[in-house]
Structure 1
């Protein structure tokens, strides 16, 4: 599995608008992306920490194909949307182990 994380620094006064726009975009632009298994937006629990967006792809090739896709273009088309100007840091990781505990 290939995991992408994006740390997004969103000012607290635009956090609510950012969350709405970001989640709406996730729901409308990511459904059906080949190789994408899961995506999440995590809200920081302390002031001054960034939001964390995650995407889990089957492979690096699936991620790279998404970067060239209409879905990617649509998700990033509104450069005036809340949070689009925020500093961010994208990181790429290969999953070594994934342990799921049954409850």
Structure 2
């Protein structure tokens, strides 16, 4: 499994709107992505913490294919400036449970 995490700083005053917009975008653009196992938006619990978007793919190749797809470009065409965040990627070494 190949996991991508995007850490997104969002001002507290904009959090509700961000969650609504990001959730709608996920629903509209991720439903039919080949090789996508799941995607989540995690709400920060600490003061000054950032949102984290997590996407799990079957492989790095599946993630790379999505990055080249129309779905990816459509999902990111309306991103707000400053909301890009920091992207990290990981390969699963050990997994327990579902």
Shorter-chain TM-score tier: over 0.9
Gap regions ≥5 residues in structure 1: none
Q: How does 1:1-103 map to 2 (within 5 A)?
A: 1-80=1-80, 84-86=81-83, 88-100=85-97
Q: Distance in 1 between matches of 2:84 and 2:27?
A: 23
> Which portions of structure 1, spanning 4 or more consecutive aligned residues, are displaced by more than 2 angstroms?
84-87
How many residues are treated as equivalent by the alignment? 98
What is the root-mean-square deviation of aligned Cα atoms in Å?
A: 1.3
Q: What TM-score results when the alignment is normalised by the length of structure 2?
A: 0.94
Q: CA deviation at 1:54?
A: 0.2
Deviation digits for residues 62-98 of structure 1, max 9, x if unmatched?
0001001011011101134xxx522511001000111
Q: CA deviation at 1:7?
A: 0.4
Q: What TM-score results when the alignment is normalised by the length of structure 1?
A: 0.90
